[in-house]
Protein backbone atom coordinates (compact mmCIF):
# COMPACT_ATOMS: atom_id res chain seq x y z
CA UNK A 1 0.00 0.00 0.00
CA UNK A 2 1.53 3.28 -1.09
CA UNK A 3 1.42 6.68 0.57
CA UNK A 4 0.13 8.10 -2.72
CA UNK A 5 -2.72 5.57 -2.69
CA UNK A 6 -3.60 6.41 0.90
CA UNK A 7 -3.65 10.13 0.15
CA UNK A 8 -5.88 9.39 -2.84
CA UNK A 9 -8.22 7.43 -0.56
CA UNK A 10 -8.37 10.27 1.97
CA UNK A 11 -9.13 12.88 -0.70
CA UNK A 12 -11.99 10.79 -2.09
CA UNK A 13 -13.32 10.23 1.43
CA UNK A 14 -13.17 13.95 2.13
CA UNK A 15 -15.27 14.74 -0.93
CA UNK A 16 -17.75 11.96 -0.21
CA UNK A 17 -18.22 13.22 3.34
CA UNK A 18 -18.62 16.82 2.27
CA UNK A 19 -21.22 16.09 -0.39
CA UNK A 20 -23.05 13.69 1.92
CA UNK A 21 -23.19 16.18 4.78
CA UNK A 22 -24.57 18.92 2.52
CA UNK A 23 -27.36 16.68 1.23
CA UNK A 24 -28.20 15.10 4.56
CA UNK A 25 -27.96 18.09 6.91
CA UNK A 26 -27.13 21.46 5.39
CA UNK A 27 -29.81 21.59 2.71
CA UNK A 28 -32.56 20.09 4.92
CA UNK A 29 -31.57 22.53 7.67
CA UNK A 30 -31.81 25.48 5.30
CA UNK A 31 -35.17 24.25 3.97
CA UNK A 32 -36.48 24.36 7.54
CA UNK A 33 -35.82 28.07 8.03
CA UNK A 34 -37.11 31.28 6.49
CA UNK A 35 -36.41 31.44 2.73
CA UNK A 36 -34.63 34.82 2.98
CA UNK A 37 -32.37 33.48 5.74
CA UNK A 38 -31.67 30.35 3.68
CA UNK A 39 -30.70 32.52 0.69
CA UNK A 40 -28.25 34.51 2.79
CA UNK A 41 -26.81 31.44 4.52
CA UNK A 42 -26.31 29.44 1.31
CA UNK A 43 -24.72 32.39 -0.48
CA UNK A 44 -22.35 32.77 2.45
CA UNK A 45 -21.46 29.07 2.43
CA UNK A 46 -20.89 29.13 -1.33
CA UNK A 47 -18.42 31.97 -0.91
CA UNK A 48 -16.64 30.67 2.20
CA UNK A 49 -16.14 27.14 0.86
CA UNK A 50 -13.85 28.41 -1.91
CA UNK A 51 -10.55 27.71 -0.11
CA UNK A 52 -7.61 25.36 -0.58
CA UNK A 53 -9.38 23.01 1.87
CA UNK A 54 -11.93 22.44 -0.90
CA UNK A 55 -9.69 22.72 -3.95
CA UNK A 56 -7.09 20.17 -2.80
CA UNK A 57 -9.54 17.26 -2.58
CA UNK A 58 -11.76 18.54 -5.41
CA UNK A 59 -8.97 18.61 -7.98
CA UNK A 60 -6.55 16.30 -6.19
CA UNK A 61 -8.84 13.26 -5.92
CA UNK A 62 -9.18 12.54 -9.65
CA UNK A 63 -5.62 13.63 -10.43
CA UNK A 64 -4.04 11.46 -7.72
CA UNK A 65 -6.27 8.51 -8.68
CA UNK A 66 -4.96 8.81 -12.23
CA UNK A 67 -1.35 9.11 -11.06
CA UNK A 68 -1.85 6.18 -8.67
CA UNK A 69 -3.08 4.14 -11.61
CA UNK A 70 0.14 4.78 -13.50
CA UNK A 71 2.19 3.61 -10.52
CA UNK A 72 -0.02 0.64 -9.61
CA UNK A 73 0.70 -2.88 -10.70
CA UNK A 74 -1.62 -5.35 -12.36
CA UNK A 75 -5.36 -4.99 -12.01
CA UNK A 76 -4.95 -2.36 -9.28
CA UNK A 77 -4.18 0.17 -12.00
CA UNK A 78 -7.60 -0.36 -13.57
CA UNK A 79 -9.34 0.30 -10.25
CA UNK A 80 -7.46 3.58 -9.82
CA UNK A 81 -8.21 4.61 -13.41
CA UNK A 82 -11.88 3.81 -12.86
CA UNK A 83 -11.85 5.90 -9.67
CA UNK A 84 -10.30 8.80 -11.57
CA UNK A 85 -12.95 8.59 -14.29
CA UNK A 86 -15.89 8.37 -11.87
CA UNK A 87 -14.50 11.24 -9.79
CA UNK A 88 -13.85 13.37 -12.85
CA UNK A 89 -17.32 12.89 -14.31
CA UNK A 90 -19.44 12.49 -11.18
CA UNK A 91 -17.81 15.14 -9.02
CA UNK A 92 -15.76 17.62 -11.01
CA UNK A 93 -17.76 17.84 -14.25
CA UNK A 94 -21.15 17.78 -12.49
CA UNK A 95 -19.94 20.58 -10.21
CA UNK A 96 -18.73 22.73 -13.10
CA UNK A 97 -21.77 22.14 -15.32
CA UNK A 98 -24.59 22.16 -12.75
CA UNK A 99 -23.75 23.15 -9.18
CA UNK A 100 -21.47 26.14 -9.79
CA UNK A 101 -23.88 27.81 -12.26
CA UNK A 102 -26.68 27.31 -9.72
CA UNK A 103 -24.44 28.80 -7.00
CA UNK A 104 -23.76 31.77 -9.27
CA UNK A 105 -27.47 32.24 -9.97
CA UNK A 106 -28.22 32.20 -6.26
CA UNK A 107 -25.35 34.57 -5.53
CA UNK A 108 -26.56 37.06 -8.13
CA UNK A 109 -30.12 36.73 -6.75
CA UNK A 110 -31.46 35.58 -10.14
CA UNK A 111 -33.00 32.69 -8.21
CA UNK A 112 -33.88 32.15 -4.58
CA UNK A 113 -33.16 29.20 -2.34
CA UNK A 114 -36.60 27.65 -3.02
CA UNK A 115 -35.78 27.45 -6.74
CA UNK A 116 -32.13 26.62 -6.12
CA UNK A 117 -32.18 23.70 -3.72
CA UNK A 118 -34.16 20.97 -5.55
CA UNK A 119 -31.87 20.81 -8.60
CA UNK A 120 -28.70 21.65 -6.65
CA UNK A 121 -29.33 18.93 -4.08
CA UNK A 122 -30.25 16.33 -6.72
CA UNK A 123 -26.91 16.85 -8.40
CA UNK A 124 -25.14 17.07 -5.06
CA UNK A 125 -26.45 13.56 -4.36
CA UNK A 126 -24.97 12.51 -7.72
CA UNK A 127 -21.66 13.95 -6.53
CA UNK A 128 -21.95 12.15 -3.18
CA UNK A 129 -22.74 8.78 -4.77
CA UNK A 130 -19.95 9.25 -7.32
CA UNK A 131 -17.48 10.16 -4.60
CA UNK A 132 -18.43 7.12 -2.51
CA UNK A 133 -18.07 4.95 -5.62
CA UNK A 134 -14.66 6.48 -6.31
CA UNK A 135 -13.68 5.91 -2.69
CA UNK A 136 -14.61 2.24 -2.99
CA UNK A 137 -12.72 1.92 -6.29
CA UNK A 138 -9.58 3.42 -4.72
CA UNK A 139 -9.98 1.06 -1.76
CA UNK A 140 -10.19 -1.94 -4.06
CA UNK A 141 -7.16 -0.66 -5.96
CA UNK A 142 -5.23 -0.46 -2.71
CA UNK A 143 -6.07 -4.03 -1.76
CA UNK A 144 -5.17 -5.50 -5.16
Taking each helix axis from N to C terminus, what angle separates 52-71 and 3-21, rounded to the nearest 10 degrees?
140
Are 15 and 58 spatial neighbours (Cβ–Cβ below 8 Å)?
yes
Are 130 and 87 spatial neighbours (Cβ–Cβ below 8 Å)?
yes
Residues 94-128 pLDDT 10s? 999 999 999 999 999 999 999 999 999 999 999 99
Residues 4-39 pLDDT 10s? 999 999 999 999 999 999 999 999 999 999 999 999
Check residue 144 and report its DSSP letter.
Answer: -
**Residue 23 belongs to domain spanning:** 3-143
Number of domains in the chain: 1
Indicate whether this model's pTM tops 0.85.
Answer: yes
Amino acid sequence: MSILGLITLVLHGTLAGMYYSFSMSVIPGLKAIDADAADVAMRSMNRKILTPWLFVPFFGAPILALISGFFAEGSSALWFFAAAAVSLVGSLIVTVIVNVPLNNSLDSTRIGFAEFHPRWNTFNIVRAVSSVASLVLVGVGLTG
